[in-house]
Amino acid sequence: AKDGYKLWLDYQPIDNASLNTEIEELFKGVYFFGKNPTYEVIKKELGLASKGFFNHNPEFKNLNQNAHLWIGTRTELTQYLGLEQQAKIKALGDEGYWRGTINQGGESHYAIVGNSPIGTLYGVFDFFRSIQTGTFDSSSEKSDSPKIKLRMLNHWDNLDRTVERGYAGFSIWDWHKLPGYVDPRYIDYARANASLGINAVSLTNVNANAWVLREDFIEKVKVLADLFRPYGIQVFLTARFSAPIEMGNLETADPLDAEVKNFWKERVDMIYKEIPDFGGFVVKANSEGQPGPHEYGRNHAEGANMLAEALAPHSGIVIWRAFVYSHEIDEDRHKQANLEFEPLDGKFMDNVIIQVKNGAIDFQPREPFHPLFGAVDETNLGMEFQITQEYLGQATQLVYLSPMWEEVLQSKTFRPSPNSTVAGIIDGSATNKKLTLMAGVSNIGTDRNWTGHLFGQANWYAFGKLAWDPYQNSSDIANEWISLTFGKDPETKSKILSIMLQSHEAAVNYMTPLGLHHIMGRSHHYGPGPWVEGGRADWTSLYYHRANTEGIGFDRTATGSNALGQYASEIASEWSDPNLIPEKFLLWFHHVPWDFQLKSGKTLWEGIAFHYDQGVKSARSFHQTWQTLEGLIDQERFNHVNQLLKIQVKEAEWWRNACLLFFQTFSNRPFPDDIEQPT
Ligand code: GCU
């Protein structure tokens, strides 16, 4: 059934006859140069691929017995590789691989060679991908390696299987039936991640429950860790800072208290006894009411280092989140992370990474990059993207997020050097760091197709690709995903691609154009809610848009909160001028009069109306384009997406009407004639 369960690993029959024979030969003579659990995984995957491509099993041979496809590590294949080639492969690092033809004794062999079995696995998945996309070519070689060390999914899954901000059913972790019952889905999950190079997963919600650190839960976690290991996936857990009180019977969780330190040391030792390659902890502390070191007058570094000390002997790490703000403080939330973390630069242990959310506010449809990138030199910084679409239509809207991530990754920070970019900081090249991280808040649940909306799969896919190489482009990633998901028909591909590539800008247009942000319905964040008012110190008046009869927007220049002052001076000076700042960020940083002139010649009011209207038109065009795909793709997925696109059109109209009619009560101006009038 085309229900989406197989994700991008749906190995369809090969349609190119000549390539077919060549590749089929490879599958009929497979030789492994060694034995280990990861090779067992590769064997199984070869079985699935061969069945799918050719409808028969692969044949495993001996070396001197027509073995056409060679699989092994660099060291295992030493005698077949020249010295220069060995050096080249070695330089790719532990997880890198090379694949290409080796001529040996008058025969040629196609070899997939990793520096480690996991590297080999990555090479095999890439080999399959080349077959699926019709780009396999035995005469050209390919080598690749990840640019970021930790490529990680963060599940916001609770122990009762609800998922915070999850829109695809319940958590796939069945804690109740673990450790005894092993859901086959865990393996498919591991395969999907490994195929993208995702090598770490945090299983539990950042709003953490201390119970997951109990022995009985660790036994369950161990089962998952054992399953994931041959796929190269390391397991992390979220640690609740107050666990020493809640489960250790201590009176304090003060990170400098000897008993507290001891509690964590014992807990960590216990975990490593069960899971020797346990990754470490992800921690949300002193944010949104979560416990943390501030309760004891200690800072983030003292809190993080206490855990890092317990983990260090086991090579574990602490991923400490920079998403810190208190809704009780009357300070621009945009500034809080820098205020708390900049003074601590250089104070964190080497095995601590500060995980910085994409956007100082909160995963908005479009945010300027977080000002912590570039503000600290002596601190490991990782990126946190949100794959689940909390603020982007949840599971009813098709929004391909890769262009948004790409925009952020490519952003120039001007620090530490004039050419630095966010990508350069998180891959460590700009800052000379080895411990690097890109995390994505997962959009996965028990829904048959994993992500609720079929196109949510593309976001999981794109996240994995960008975590591997943050310099890739969204269009290439989308093209590849479409081929793997819908096949290679050019018409189908180009139509789907055009929808995907426009979808993020469209959502920004009908939700939060020109730098508007956080005007979603209160707490659920679904649909418009610009009228939300007060009740929290950090909201001051009217949420974040601050509309009044004069104009609209949040003044973050020197005359306002001066969050802009936290960026490099190149940015701060340019963006503090409403005529120079990129218009997409105008209302993020400026309170602007309704009659302010935009670059298009329109007034701000007309421009806002125009963008909302454009957003609706785009959503309608997606639905129209999709309808022309009927018959070109299977009815099952056609219907699934078609129904959702219809909902998306309604939601876009809802956003436009709600926001424009509401903002009109301040602007007191008519809608321009050239847009559809909101009602
Ligand atoms: C957002 C989200 C919360 C989440 C928080 C976080 O505010 O709405 O559900 O807990 O981010 O990232 O910690």
What's the CATH class of domain 150-473? alpha beta
The pLDDT of residue 341 is: 97
Q: Where in the chain is the domain with CATH 3.90.1330.10?
A: 513-554+591-667
Q: 104 pLDDT exceeds 90?
A: no
Q: Measured on CA atoms in the order 343, 348, 353, 355, is the torsion positive or negative?
A: negative
What is the distance between the alpha carbons of residues 516 and 525, in angstroms, rounded to a whole number?
15
Q: If you measure from the C-alpha of residue 168 to the centroid of ligand 1, how many angstroms do you get, rounded to a whole number?
A: 17
The pLDDT of residue 537 is: 54
Indicate the SS3 state at residue 528.
strand
Q: Is the CB of 465 under 6 A from ligand 1?
A: no
What is the distance between the alpha carbons of residues 339 and 343, in angstroms, rounded to a whole number?
7
Q: Where in the chain is the domain with CATH 3.30.379.10?
A: 7-144
The pLDDT of residue 330 is: 74
Mutate to test the pocket of ligand 1, among 155, 163, 165 (most ligand atoms within 8 A of CB): 165
Per-residue model confidence as pLDDT tens digits over 242-278: 999 999 899 999 999 999 999 999 999 999 999 999 9
Q: Which atom of ligand 1 is nearest to the CA of 441?
A: 12
Q: 541 pLDDT exceeds 60?
A: no
Indicate the SS3 state at residue 320.
strand
Q: 347 pLDDT exceeds 80?
A: yes
The pLDDT confidence band at residue 105, using thresholds 50, 70 and 90, is confident
Indicate the SS3 state at residue 384.
strand
Per-residue model confidence as pLDDT tens digits over 205-235: 999 999 999 999 999 999 999 999 999 999 9
The pLDDT of residue 331 is: 82
Closest Cα to atom 2 of ligand 1: 165
Rg (CA), the chain: 26
Q: Is the CB of 333 under 6 A from ligand 1?
A: no
Question: Which residue is associated with the tokens 């078609």?
Answer: 642
Q: Where in the chain is the domain with CATH 3.20.20.80?
A: 150-473
* CATH of the domain spanning 513-554+591-667, picked from 3.40.1170.20, 3.50.50.60, 3.90.1330.10, 3.40.30.10: 3.90.1330.10
Closest CA to 322 of 286, 275, 363, 290: 286
Per-residue model confidence as pLDDT tens digits over 133-176: 999 999 999 999 999 999 999 999 999 999 999 999 999 999 99
In whole numbers, what is the pLDDT of the chain averaged over residues? 96
Q: If you measure from the C-alpha of residue 609 to the centroid of ligand 1, how many angstroms do you get, rounded to a whole number?
A: 30
Q: If you measure from the C-alpha of residue 164 to the centroid of ligand 1, how many angstroms do you get, rounded to a whole number?
A: 8
Q: 97 pLDDT exceeds 60?
A: yes
The pLDDT of residue 93 is: 98
Mutate to test the pocket of ligand 1, among 286, 336, 362, 536 (most ligand atoms within 8 A of CB): 362
Q: Is the CB of 86 under 6 A from ligand 1?
A: no
105 versus 496: the higher-pLDDT residue is 496
Question: Mean pLDDT, to the nearest integer, of 279-287?
Answer: 97
- What was the ipTM of the complex prediction? 0.98
CB 362 within 8 A of CB 388: no
The pLDDT of residue 538 is: 57
Q: 636 pLDDT exceeds 80?
A: yes
Per-residue model confidence as pLDDT tens digits over 556-600: 999 999 999 999 999 999 999 999 999 999 999 999 999 999 999
Indicate the SS3 state at residue 666.
helix
What is the distance between the alpha carbons of residues 450 and 193, in angstroms, rounded to a whole number?
13
Q: Is the CB of 284 under 6 A from ligand 1?
A: yes
CB 168 within 8 A of CB 456: yes
CB 50 within 8 A of CB 8: no
Q: Does domain 7-144 have CATH number 3.30.379.10?
A: yes
Per-residue model confidence as pLDDT tens digits over 314-326: 999 999 999 998 7
The pLDDT of residue 359 is: 95
Question: Mean pLDDT, to the nearest integer, of 95-112?
Answer: 95
The pLDDT of residue 1 is: 80
The pLDDT of residue 384 is: 98
Q: Is the peptide bond between 179 and the residue preceding it cis, with omega within 30 degrees of 0?
A: yes
H helix intervals, 62-116:
83-90
Percentage of the chain beyond pLDDT 90 is 94
Question: Mean pLDDT, to the nearest integer, of 495-501?
Answer: 98
Active-site residue numbers? 288, 362, 390
The pLDDT confidence band at residue 66, using thresholds 50, 70 and 90, is confident
Q: Which atom of ligand 1 is nearest to the CA of 287?
A: 13
Indicate the SS3 state at residue 101.
strand
Percentage of the chain beyond pLDDT 70 is 99
